[in-house]
């Protein structure tokens, strides 16, 4: 279903109504502008991360000799090297690679749902929306595990100087895992940005799953057939692709660089 | 009051379009695989970072252009979305550069 209205007939002003500015329906245009504002928010977080990270010294020794310390920013493949059910096996970036694969695939199934919606094919929309939901839920579950592992930490603690606010002295303590105050991987800001950026993205995935379920439910109950078009699939699809897009950036700036 | 089910005409799938979507998916996955290879073969440094950022922009282009259909929208909409992003890139470069000038405690 194409909702853009045909070109304005000669002699008639666009301001007389009956035409869609920018050739897109109101809902789609507003979704684009919402996504722009959301992109600014994510940019704010990622740019602040870039500022703080570049102000911290980078690790410049050999990768094999790398040790966690507050004096340098950790290299990601040494932090994110765990996979569920494979305790103690060092598999750098494998799990996050799987998460990236899941999110890209769910973006593909979403775009196939949009394509089916254009053809008014309810059965195909249901099928692809269901796959998209599976992808979204899988990603969220993976992230829950990733966070749990990040918070609990490795088997051996990192010895760190931590300020004790009760006694007013710096204590040498073994730190496990991470919280907003201290973490075993590197400077406190490292874990703070991890929680804020992946958390904010995860919250978007969560909202996306809810919206996808709403669209799936409406498709099943025939709401869009009665309405005569499946444009809602397209609008929620835009949001879902945006969530995938943000992950592409988070993946690069947090896990690769 | 009886509700009549609406008469819906289902069109056949557009094979060409679906094939194109899967091709974009393959490109996205291939680029991610390349990123992984780079992550474990090249030493950390400016060259590596540049390659990662370049490949990320390639992926972003495919997602926004093909999946979000922006490439096929009206020119005004296309530029209305793209131009503000140029300022974001400028801001990123400026802040990362500023960060390098901050002396750590």
For residue B105, give how far its alpha carbon lies from the nearest alpha carbon of chain A (Å): 9
Whether A51 and B6 lie within 8 Å, measured CB to CB: no
Distance, C-alpha A240 to centroid of its chain = 10
Mean pLDDT of A31-43: 95
**Is residue B8 situated within a structural domain?**
no
Helix (H) or strand (E) holding B26, with range, is helix B15-41
pLDDT at A96: 93
Mean pLDDT of A207-230: 95
Encode pLDDT of A116-142 as tens digits: 999 999 999 999 999 999 999 999 999
B57 vs A76: CA distance, rounded Å? 20
Encode pLDDT of B60-89 as tens digits: 999 999 999 998 998 999 999 999 998 999
- Nearest chain B residue to A33 by CA: give it: B81
A202 vs A44: CA distance, rounded Å? 17
**Is residue B6 situated within a structural domain?**
no
**Is residue B67 situated within a structural domain?**
yes
Q: What number is the ipTM of this complex? A: 0.89
Q: What is the domain range of residue B81?
A: 15-101
Residue B29 CB partners (closer than 8 Å, separation 6+): A101, A104
Q: At B73, phi and psi to the nearest 5?
A: -80, 170
Least confident of A70-74, A154-158, B4-8, B69-73: B4-8
Domains of chain A: 19-57+88-158+187-256 (1.20.120.80)
Whether B8 and A120 lie within 8 Å, measured CB to CB: yes
- Using alpha carbons only, how large is chain A's radius of gyration in Å? 23
- What's the domain count of chain B? 1
Q: Is A244's pLDDT higher than 90?
A: yes
Looking at per-residue pLDDT, the higher value among A160 and B60 belongs to B60
Encode pLDDT of B39-50 as tens digits: 888 888 888 889
**Is residue B10 situated within a structural domain?**
no
A223 touches chain B (CB under 8 A): no
For residue A167, give how far its alpha carbon lies from the nearest alpha carbon of chain B (Å): 22
Looking at per-residue pLDDT, the higher value among A168 and B44 belongs to A168
**Is residue B23 situated within a structural domain?**
yes
CB burial string A173-208: b at 16+ within 10 A, e below: eebebbeeebbbbbbbbbbbbbbebbeebbebbbeb
**Is residue B84 situated within a structural domain?**
yes
Q: Is A234's pLDDT higher than 70?
A: yes
Whether B102 and A101 lie within 8 Å, measured CB to CB: no
**Is residue B85 situated within a structural domain?**
yes
């Amino acid at each position: 279903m194409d909702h853009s209205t045909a070109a304005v007939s000669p002699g008639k002003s666009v301001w007389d109504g009956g035409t869609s500015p920018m050739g897109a329906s109101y809902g789609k245009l507003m979704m684009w502008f919402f996504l722009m504002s959301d992109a600014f928010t994510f940019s704010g977080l990622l740019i602040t991360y870039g500022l703080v990270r570049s102000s911290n010294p980078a690790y410049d020794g050999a990768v094999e000799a790398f040790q966690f310390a507050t004096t340098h920013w950790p290299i990601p493949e040494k932090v994110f090297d765990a996979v569920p059910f494979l305790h103690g096996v060092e598999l750098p970036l494998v799990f996050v690679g799987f998460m990236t694969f899941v999110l890209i695939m769910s973006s593909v199934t979403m775009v196939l749902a949009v394509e089916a919606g254009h053809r008014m094919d309810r059965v195909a929309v249901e099928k692809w929306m269901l796959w998209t939901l599976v992808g979204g839920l899988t990603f969220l579950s993976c992230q829950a595990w990733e966070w749990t592992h990040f918070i609990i930490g490795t088997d051996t603690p990192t010895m760190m100087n931590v300020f004790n606010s009760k006694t007013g002295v710096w204590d040498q303590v073994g730190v496990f895992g991470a919280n907003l105050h201290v973490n075993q991987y590197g400077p406190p800001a490292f874990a703070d940005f991890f929680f804020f950026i992946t958390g904010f993205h995860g919250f978007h995935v969560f909202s996306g799953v809810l919206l996808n379920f709403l669209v799936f439910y409406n498709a099943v109950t025939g709401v869009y057939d009665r309405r005569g078009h499946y444009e809602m699939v397209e609008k929620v699809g835009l949001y879902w692709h945006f969530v995938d897009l943000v992950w592409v950036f988070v993946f690069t700036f947090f896990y690769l660089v | 009051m009886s509700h009549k089910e609406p008469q819906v005409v289902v069109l056949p799938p557009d094979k060409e379009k679906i094939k194109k979507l899967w091709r974009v998916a393959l490109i996205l996955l291939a680029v991610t695989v390349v990123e992984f290879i780079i992550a474990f073969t090249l030493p950390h440094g400016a060259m590596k970072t540049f390659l990662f950022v370049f490949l990320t922009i390639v992926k972003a282009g495919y997602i926004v252009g093909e999946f979000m259909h922006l490439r096929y929208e009206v020119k005004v909409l296309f530029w209305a979305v793209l131009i503000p992003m140029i300022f974001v890139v400028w801001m990123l470069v400026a802040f990362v550069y500023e960060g390098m000038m901050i002396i750590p405690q």
